[in-house]
Structure 1
């Protein structure tokens, strides 16, 4: 600093003016670039929103689920479950609020209680399952999607057109630091895979044959659990574990009166042609198919989680196909 001051003192008035002019111009240029960037990225467009309607700001729709972030799926599922009128407003970037804070605010403001039928003990269990999903299972999603997925083609197709490769790289570095600080990022891929499967097994064991997390009726924690599982079920591409909670069916011939087409996806299995309203986990495979000797049916041990995902989608997302981009082949209409 003293060297700079001495150099300025040695200059005459005109030289000092030129230096200060150059420095001032540089500062103005930097401030201008920052201001323009903020204006473009965070520009608020004035829209005429209807009264008494929640405006849900999110990055945008995703290839096979309504959002690439499980927390956006959680919050939108909550709005649907609570029957709160809302509209989705797509933003390039936004300052994200914690979804649970949004839910707590709406619960208090509108008198919503999706846990009203739960006992105090059940509320505690539901909270514990929600925390496991959002504070532990979520980090496996981050690791598999952003660190262990060497292909990155799915992420590229979902995000690059919006953010660019440079932003994607910076975000990946940011997430790597987060997972390291959180702790799970210090483990190998093999260790992470085993812990991930243990979490899924715990959730599967707890859910058992129940229709929803805590019984025959959904509760608030279902929104969080479904938000996380929606990513593993529909959008786990490129990780090597795409079918980890799906039921795979190969060469299935329809049984009498079943009307079941050949399929490799649980989405086609849990349709209204089957035992309507009954969870797959409560029935043997023979309940669903009359297999010929050449038929091969293989099911994953998390089949009840697959059935749960389909049930939540059918219950609260009847317009699911309008809320996804179908692998980026079309614009979502809702």
Structure 2
């Protein structure tokens, strides 16, 4: 397997990163006359910690992982983009992705002028391990796997993911944005064995922090070092860092929310089976259901008119006729059912 040293882009390897004032001094009890900051309007007048040390320490305690294995980004999308910029030479290298999956992998590939090779899931929404490996060549730098997958909602067998980690000759990005809702365990314990593994997680889903835009990447210190070299100096603002630290004290609330959403998901699955225009409800390990209908666009537009917004996924590979419905609060879900009752009776 190629080493990180072999996979990194040559210009990134030789890059001399920007050094901020807070790189040169990271203490707190001092008179700061080094960064051209305004001395008034504390604490917002000061640049934030560029490496989010307090926040990483807290996350490390929650995840049982050392801070040196943690990168924090402006949503998980920043880590996705940094992975492209770290390892893929524009116009030369390529990446491998499953299909269907999270759309930002395609967008990030297009922005960075990188070919993306998509390998369809099976009809049962499972990985085609042999197909993914066969799609790779000497210029394949990254493999993206989202588990639980978006929009299909299912986790992939650990044996398949391990097989790809053992055989793919590049970086494997495992996106675990929805892992808190899944019965399967996170792959975080595998980091020590696989230096080519990047695990993405987020505070946007189970933690209910989508509005503060905070994503996590867990990987080897070597890759963390590369990301820190090329990220913007102060990528996580002070408000996000402070808010996250406060909300992370409410881990019990997060666990309560997850259990309630899982109960609501089960109730929604049972309710949806009662409608004649619902053809299939796919198994889900996430906080949403992929639902096959007889008239997805008509149902979607009707729900919009009723002020209930779901996601039309009917044009996505293998998802023909499907809507993706996020599990909301009991009151929000009841509003969905009321709208669907009206659609059935119209």
Q: TM-score range by the shorter chain?
A: under 0.3
More strand by share: 2
Higher RCO structure (Cα 8 Å, ≥6 apart): 1
More helix by share: 1
